[in-house]
């Protein structure tokens, strides 16, 4: 039962920090407010995390792992790559639209000085499943021979733009629009 309590408190702290950052940003989310929102003593947070920066970095790693895991949870390697890539691409968009606070947190973190607090090797490990997924398709000559960093940046950048457009309310995506987005991305990376 002790582990469940540990998880519940830690989870409450993560959720409180995510909620506060989504409302007020990184710098206007004090630990005292996180404790209050999580319904834990301020000292409890420091039992799990040495500092606010460490908590924010741990939240990023947790959300990024969850996001990547969800992208590949239902991947079927027996299917043709185009179908697998379609699922991956659309899943990336749907996950972000279902979890806008998480999406915006990940975006904000990736473009902030906080990202330098995580060793590059750890950041690369978080994205490794995406690199492996796309690299195999380049190796089997399904995708253009594009350097992996550019390929991943192109695919994620494409999906991120669609996500932001949808979340802004500026343009309501239909399933046909999402298919068009997929084909535009696919045509940009497929070989031949």
pLDDT tens per residue, range 134-191: 999 999 999 999 999 999 999 999 999 999 999 999 888 999 999 999 999 999 999 9
Please check whether residues 16 and 97 belong to one and the same domain.
no
Its domain, for residue 163, covers 63-189
Rounded Cα distance between 15 and 38, Å, is 7
Q: Indicate the Cα dihedral angle 123, 124, 128, 130, nearest 10°.
A: 80
CA 100 remoteness from chain centre: 10
Tally of CA atoms within 13 A in the half-sphere of 155 that contains its CB: 25
| 176: exposed, middle or buried (Cβ count in 10 Å: 0-12, 13-18, 19+) | exposed
Mean pLDDT of 24-28: 91
Tokens of residue 170, six digits: 């500026």
We report the CATH number of the domain holding residue 156 as: 1.10.357.10
CATH of the domain at 27: 1.10.10.60
CA distances from 45 to 2, 39, 40 (A): 17, 11, 8
**Whether pTM exceeds 0.85:** yes
117 and 85 within one domain: yes
Kindly indicate the confidence band of residue 4, based on its pLDDT and cuts at 50, 70 and 90: very low
Q: For 106-138, b where at least 16 C-beta lie within 10 A, e where not — what string? A: beebeeeebeeebeeeebeeeeeebeebbeebb
**2 and 67: one domain?**
no
What's the domain count of the chain? 2
SS3 of 99, please?
coil
Given pLDDT bands bounded at 50, 70 and 90, which one contains residue 6? low
Give the mean model confidence (pLDDT) for residues 3-11. 70
Question: What confidence score (pLDDT) does residue 7 get?
Answer: 61
Backbone dihedral region for residue 49 (phi beyond 0: left; psi -120 to 50: alpha; all else: beta):
beta
Q: Are residues 124 and 178 in the same domain?
A: yes
Residues 97 and 68 in one domain: yes
Same domain, 175 and 87: yes
**pLDDT exceeds 70 at position 127:** yes
Q: Is residue 54 part of a domain?
A: no
Examine the pLDDT at 130 and tell me if it is beyond 70.
Answer: yes
């Amino acid at each position: 039962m002790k582990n469940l309590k540990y998880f519940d408190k830690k989870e409450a702290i993560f959720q409180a920090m995510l909620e506060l950052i989504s409302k007020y940003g990184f710098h206007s989310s004090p630990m005292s407010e996180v404790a209050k929102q999580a319904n834990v003593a301020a000292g409890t947070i420091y039992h799990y995390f040495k500092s606010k920066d460490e908590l924010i970095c741990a939240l990023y790693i947790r959300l990024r792992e969850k996001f990547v895991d969800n992208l590949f949870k239902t991947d079927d390697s027996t299917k043709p790559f185009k179908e697998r890539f379609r699922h991956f691409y659309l899943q990336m968009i749907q996950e972000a639209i279902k979890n806008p606070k998480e999406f915006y947190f990940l975006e904000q973190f990736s473009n902030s000085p906080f990202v330098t607090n995580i060793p590059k090797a750890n950041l690369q490990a978080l994205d490794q499943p995406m690199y492996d997924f796309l690299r195999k398709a380049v190796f089997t000559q399904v995708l253009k021979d594009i350097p992996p960093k550019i390929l991943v940046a192109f695919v994620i950048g494409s999906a991120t733009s669609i996500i932001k457009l949808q979340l802004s309310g500026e343009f309501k995506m239909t399933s046909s629009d999402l298919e068009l987005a997929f084909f535009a991305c696919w045509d940009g990376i497929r070989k031949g």
